[in-house]
Amino acid sequence: MYALIYKPLLYCYTLLAAMAPIKPAPVAFHPLHVSTTDVNYNGQDNKLEVICTIFTDDFEAALTKQYNAHPDLVKPAMHGESDALIKKYIADHVLLKPNQMPVNLNYIGYEIKDAAVDVYLESDKVSPFKKIDVDISLLHNLYEDQINIVHITVNGVRKSEKLDWPNRKLEQVF
């Protein structure tokens, strides 16, 4: 008797479970699209030391969109391929001009820190300067709500500015 009752119920539950919507896996999401660029003038070496910090998932998406590549910045086996893409991307999106003279930024490398990537750069020798022009367009090819925060330190004096998309240029006088 119980078999007659429970068997149809089992089929009914199985059918309902199969028809129920499947909840998708949670997606890593951060509502803020921001990067920071720290520019430090090293007076001893007369060089600009630069660190760009970008969310890893956003950076991978920007590299994919711009170069039609599929980098995995976290995977050590892809580090060499990622280096080439990052070097090219940063050269296209970070321009520094102390005293209106563009400087060459040498790519040193990158490292993953939590959910972000730190990209390290260093300029060739730069004469002491009072004014620097900066053109930063990191992730502008990806988000229209992108914010790039720029910190510049010269002789112990730090100045910061926030660049909201589409703004990409700033000038600081020290």
Give the chain's end-to-end CA distance (angstroms, integer).
90
User: What pLDDT does residue 54 have?
Assistant: 95
The alpha carbon of 92 is separated from its chain's Cα centroid by a whole number of angstroms, namely 14
Question: Does 151 fall in a domain?
Answer: yes
CA distances from 80 to 26, 74, 113 (A): 30, 12, 18
Within the chain, which residues score under 50 in pLDDT?
1-6, 9-18, 23-27
Question: Does 3 fall in a domain?
Answer: no
Name residue 48's amino acid.
L
- Domain assignment of residue 116, given as a range: 31-173
Question: Does 106 fall in a domain?
Answer: yes
The answer to whether 97 and 65 are in contact (CB under 8 A) is: no
User: What pLDDT does residue 103 have?
Assistant: 95
- Counting the structural domains of the chain, the total is 1
pTM over 0.75: yes
Question: Does 1 fall in a domain?
Answer: no
The answer to whether 57 and 97 are in contact (CB under 8 A) is: no
**How are beta strands 94-98 and 131-136 bridged, if at all?**
antiparallel
Question: Does 128 fall in a domain?
Answer: yes
Question: Does 53 fall in a domain?
Answer: yes
Question: Does 135 fall in a domain?
Answer: yes
Question: Does 24 fall in a domain?
Answer: no
User: What pLDDT does residue 120 have?
Assistant: 98
